[in-house]
Amino acid sequence: MNVNVEELMALAERALAPTYRRPPIIFTHGEGMYVYDTAGRRYLDFVAGIAVCALGHADPGVAQVIAEQARRLVHLSNLYHTEPHLRLAEALVAYSFADRVFFCNSGAEAVEAALKFARKFARTHYGAHKTGLVAFTHSFHGRTMGALSVTEKPAYREPFIPLIPGVTFAPFNDVEAASSAITSETCAVIVEPIQGEGGVYVASPEFLRVLRKRCDEVGALLIFDEVQCGLGRTGTLWAYEAYEVEPDLLTIAKPLANGLPIGAVLMKEKVATVLQPGDHGSTFAGGPLVSAVALYVFERLRSPAFLAHVREMGAYLMERLRAAALPGVREIRGRGLLVGIEIEGEARNVTTAALERGLLLTTAGDYVVRMIPPLVVEKSHIDEAIAILHEAMRA
């Protein structure tokens, strides 16, 4: 292909805001588990656009729904109804704890909406004083001001303070510390049942049960952020299913439309009853194109056979990783196809070495290599990835 990569890298240097570190490669297309660059090189994708492309790249079914809906109607705004957003809401409600859905365009937007709804709920039922938020160490909820306020990582927060006041961070999985952090002033507790960006930490069942109990005692709402761990990633449609603890609000996004931007907040009726027209909104959210695609993706992700495949591949990946005797590994953790490998050195050195050998991997904090492949991954891809990872870690 006749593309001048050097020229494009120089363009990136001068035209883009420098908020990302990217390798000097131009990717052109993908198919299934693989993506390709301008030199025709093939890469096995164990990042999936950060846990987004659950059905892999260039899925024919997804492409067909995009093409058909694009020819019919792409956008009208939330001033009007179209059928796709109604059918998508119907499906999300039918297969979850929730009674109602609010649509938005990203994970951070879903978190913003959930925080606002919790504030409205507390104000309506308890008065203006009950505004406190409780979040946890290693949390990641997004980059906008509200979502950042409940994200713990100092490097993400500090350049932008002051953020929303009244946020308490308690140690993740510490039942006693969480219990005392949640008080009568708390309006919401937000937690990822399985933390992603912050290092792939899995909540203990007792921890989530205690959060549920304390929220009920003080009249706070429990928000599960399943933007990364939800929608099949960990082997059940929702991560909370494995815990038998239900939230009041659930945020989802990443894989819902396999790469088109969408987010949603799922909620119990008691939360929806405090909301009224004008309380929150979005120009793009729930448009017919993205909603039609999301409905198609959701129907595939929620199928029992698909979820059984995720569990089988997750178990195989974990078993093979443990058997591989990778050098310099401290701990391997995760659930389903959300797996973190904590290592002795810098995780970024491993992802760079893997990229050079044709494998896309990402990190979760400084010392954790994260594997979040498309959920359509097969055993042969896992074998290939572990072989490359082994070489990369030796290097």
Ligand X SMILES: *Cc1c(COP(=O)(O)O)cnc(C)c1O
Q: Which residue has the tokens 């004083």?
A: 129
Interface with ligand X includes 340 (CB under 6 A)? no
Interface with ligand X includes 227 (CB under 6 A)? yes
Interface with ligand X includes 140 (CB under 6 A)? yes
Distances (CA, A) of 66 to 257, 289, 293: 10, 7, 6
Q: How far apart are CA 215 and CA 384, in angstroms?
A: 45
Q: Which residue, 219 or 261, has its beta carbon nearer to ligand X? A: 261
Q: How far apart are CA 77 and CA 105, in angstroms?
A: 13
Give the tokens for residue 337: 């196809």
Residues 142-181 that bind ligand X (CB under 6 A): 142
Pick the closest to residue 360 from 13, 16, 56 (CA basis).
56
Interface with ligand X includes 247 (CB under 6 A)? no
Q: How far apart are CA 176 and CA 204, in angstroms?
A: 13
Interface with ligand X includes 259 (CB under 6 A)? no
Interface with ligand X includes 224 (CB under 6 A)? no
Q: Which residue, 98 or 114, has its beta carbon nearer to ligand X? A: 114
Residue number, nearest CB to ligand X = 107
Q: How many residues does the chain have?
A: 395
Q: How far is the CB of 251 from ligand X (least distance, A)?
A: 7
Q: How far is the CB of 314 from ligand X (least distance, A)?
A: 18
Is residue 310 a contact partner of residue 233, using CB atoms and an 8 Å limit?
A: yes
**Hey, is 51 helix, strand or coil?**
helix
Interface with ligand X includes 198 (CB under 6 A)? no
Convert residues 98-117 into a mask of x (bound to ligand X by CB under 6 A) and - (unbound): --------xxx--x------
Choose, by CB under 6 A, the member of 119, 130, 138, 141 that binds ligand X: 141
Choose, by CB under 6 A, the member of 45, 59, 112, 192 that binds ligand X: 192
Q: What angle do CA 269, 302, 292 make, to 5 degrees?
A: 80
Residues 69-98 that bind ligand X (CB under 6 A): none
Interface with ligand X includes 230 (CB under 6 A)? no
Q: How far is the CB of 129 from ligand X (least distance, A)?
A: 28
Residue 323, C-beta contacts closer than 8 angstroms, at least 6 positions apart: none
* Cβ neighbours of 82 (radius 10 Å): 18
Q: How far apart are CA 63 and CA 59, in angstroms?
A: 6
Q: Which residue, 151 or 168, has its beta carbon nearer to ligand X? A: 151
Q: How far is the CB of 106 from ligand X (least distance, A)?
A: 3
Beta bridge partners of 42: 36
Q: How far is the CB of 193 from ligand X (least distance, A)?
A: 10
Q: Which residues bind ligand X (CB under 6 A)?
A: 106-108, 111, 140-142, 192, 196-197, 225, 227-228, 253-254
